[in-house]
Amino acid sequence: MMNSHQLAGLFGILGNIISFMVFLSPLPTFHTIYKRKSSEGFHFLPYSVALFSCMITLYYALVKQHVVFLITINSIGMFIETIYLVLYFVYAKKRGRILTSVAVLVFNIGVLGLIVVLTYLLSEGDKRVKIVGWILSVIAVCVFAAPLSIMMKVIRTKSVEYMPFNLSLFLTLCAVVWLLYGICIRDFYIATPNVLGFVCGIAQLILYAIYRDRKTAAVVAPNGEIQGVSIVVDATAAEMLQKVTDDSSDEIQETTSSVVVDMKAVEMQQGKTSTTNNGTVVPVRDDPIVATRN
């Protein structure tokens, strides 16, 4: 049997691996943003909060000491989340760029700087660890609560387009592993917030299971406004439709060709076209033409 120290090492390694996958899970989202050349439909807030979480967790790890697993993964996370915010900024419209810049300057730089300065000036030793730990717990809860707005959007639109399955799955696994890690090292500030993270993750997976077969289609209302309508896509029906389409494509093409030929014949009968020796159909002018001989 492994002791608590060995279990902490095991969960720390697993936590680093799964957290790294969490940081990479928004890649499909940013691939979509890159393809569309637009960040519309997506929000910068989850990435700004995630960056702040990495920064404050790294600060907590440096203050507490002897928690190398928190230092490694949060250093990597800071780098990745910064790249995401830069990409979002590049493809955002003017208003989105302004909001992103303000959030990063005020939240990620200003607030964090204020926390670092105040905790160093007003506390030391274990007291500083406790203060930073409580701040870390609050921020961690905000990170896990950030997808709640996306969950509400999923319920409202009945579409999981903006809630990637990979992100929901890895967030749930991540919460479980870090919960166990916090328990093993007896760290209340790490373990407790991950209970909420686990609950939110399970809720996202349930929503995904409910709405994963639905697509959002655009419908034009009588007043000209575009509205979103949820459509349930039956995979079997879709395959049958595709097969029928493939089987009948040749027949449709032949029918279309026949219609074109018949139309040409009608036009020729009406004097609209004539056929040259090489079979080329040319239009016949309606105005009279005087024929002359050399």
More confident of the two residues 68 and 248 = 68
Same domain, 136 and 249: no
Does residue 292 sit within a domain? no
> Do 212 and 140 form a contact (C-beta atoms < 8 A)?
no
Does residue 229 sit within a domain? no
Tokens of 258: 């026949």
DSSP 41: T
> Do 83 and 34 form a contact (C-beta atoms < 8 A)?
no
Average pLDDT over residues 240-252: 43
Model confidence pLDDT, tens digit, residues 5-59: 889 999 999 999 999 988 888 888 888 888 888 887 778 887 888 898 899 999 9
How far apart are alpha carbons 190 and 141 in whole angstroms? 11
Same domain, 51 and 189: yes
State the pLDDT at residue 184. Answer: 92
Beta-bridged to residue 281, according to DSSP, are 275
Among 220, 248, 271, the domain-final residue is: 220
**pLDDT at 103 exceeding the cut of 70:** yes
> Do 214 and 161 form a contact (C-beta atoms < 8 A)?
no
State the pLDDT at residue 244. Answer: 39
Does residue 26 sit within a domain? yes
Which of 126-140, 217-231, 244-258, 268-282 shows the lowest per-residue confidence on average (mean pLDDT)? 217-231
Among 191, 220, 249, the domain-final residue is: 220
Radius of gyration over alpha carbons of the chain, in Å? 31
Does residue 55 sit within a domain? yes
**Max intra-chain CA distance, the chain:** 114
Tokens of 147: 């997808």
Same domain, 47 and 100: yes
Same domain, 72 and 195: yes
User: pLDDT above 70 covers what percent of the chain?
Assistant: 71
At residue 69 the predicted structure's pLDDT band, cuts being 50, 70 and 90, is: very high
State the pLDDT at residue 214. Answer: 65
Full domain range(s) for residue 88: 4-220
**pLDDT at 105 exceeding the cut of 80:** yes
Tokens of 248: 């009948």
More confident of the two residues 196 and 286 = 196
Same domain, 121 and 251: no
Does residue 288 sit within a domain? no
At residue 146 the predicted structure's pLDDT band, cuts being 50, 70 and 90, is: low
Same domain, 253 and 192: no
**pLDDT at 269 exceeding the cut of 50:** no
Same domain, 11 and 144: yes
How far apart are alpha carbons 194 and 42 in whole angstroms? 25
More confident of the two residues 147 and 85 = 85
Number of domains in the chain: 2
**pLDDT at 153 exceeding the cut of 50:** yes
Does residue 155 sit within a domain? yes
More confident of the two residues 262 and 114 = 114
Query: What three-state secondary structure class fits 281?
Result: strand
Which H or E run includes 217? Answer: strand 214-220
DSSP 187: -
Same domain, 114 and 248: no
User: pLDDT above 90 covers what percent of the chain?
Assistant: 27
For all residues of the chain together, what is the average pLDDT?
74
Query: What three-state secondary structure class fits 39?
Result: coil
DSSP 104: I
Model confidence pLDDT, tens digit, residues 112-144: 999 999 998 888 888 899 999 999 988 888 777
How far apart are alpha carbons 8 and 15 in whole angstroms? 10
Q: Which of 141, 122, 4, 114 is nearest to 59 (CA)?
A: 114
Predicted structure pTM score: 0.65
- Which of 31-45, 80-94, 210-224 reaches the highest mean pLDDT? 80-94
**pLDDT at 208 exceeding the cut of 50:** yes
Same domain, 16 and 100: yes
Does residue 199 sit within a domain? yes
More confident of the two residues 81 and 39 = 81
More confident of the two residues 213 and 217 = 213
Q: Which of 36, 28, 50 is nearest to 91 (CA)?
A: 36
